[in-house]
Amino acid sequence: MLQVIGYFRATYEEDMQKNKKLKPIIPIILYRGKYRWNLPENFRDYFKVPLEFKEYILQFKYVLIDLT
C-alpha cells in the first residue's frame, strides 16, 4: 500500500511543480501471488482507530485484479 501512496505523491509533485491541476488517479493492483489477496481494498481499513477518527484518515480504494 505504501508503494501506491508513493506513486500518488510522485505524480502530484510533478503536477504541482508544473503548476498543473492534479490528475485523478485510479490505482490498479495486479496481483499474481501464491495465495488469494486477503487485504482490505479501502485504505482506511488498514487502521485500527475509533470510528470517529476514521474520517481524518486518507481515503482511497484501488482496483484489484487477482490473477491467482
The confidence score (pLDDT) of residue 9 equals: 95
Helix (H) or strand (E) holding 4: helix 2-17
Can you spell out the DSSP letters for 37-68?
A: --S-SBGGGG----HHHHTTS---B-EEEE--
∠ CA 25-26-30, rounded to 5°:
130
**Do 29 and 4 form a contact (C-beta atoms < 8 A)?**
yes
Q: In angstroms, how far is the first alpha carbon of the chain from the final one?
A: 19
pLDDT computed for residue 34 by the predictor = 92
Q: 13-52 pLDDT, tens per residue?
A: 999 999 999 999 999 999 999 999 999 989 899 999 999 9
The pLDDT assigned to 2 comes to 84
Whether the model pTM is above 0.95: no
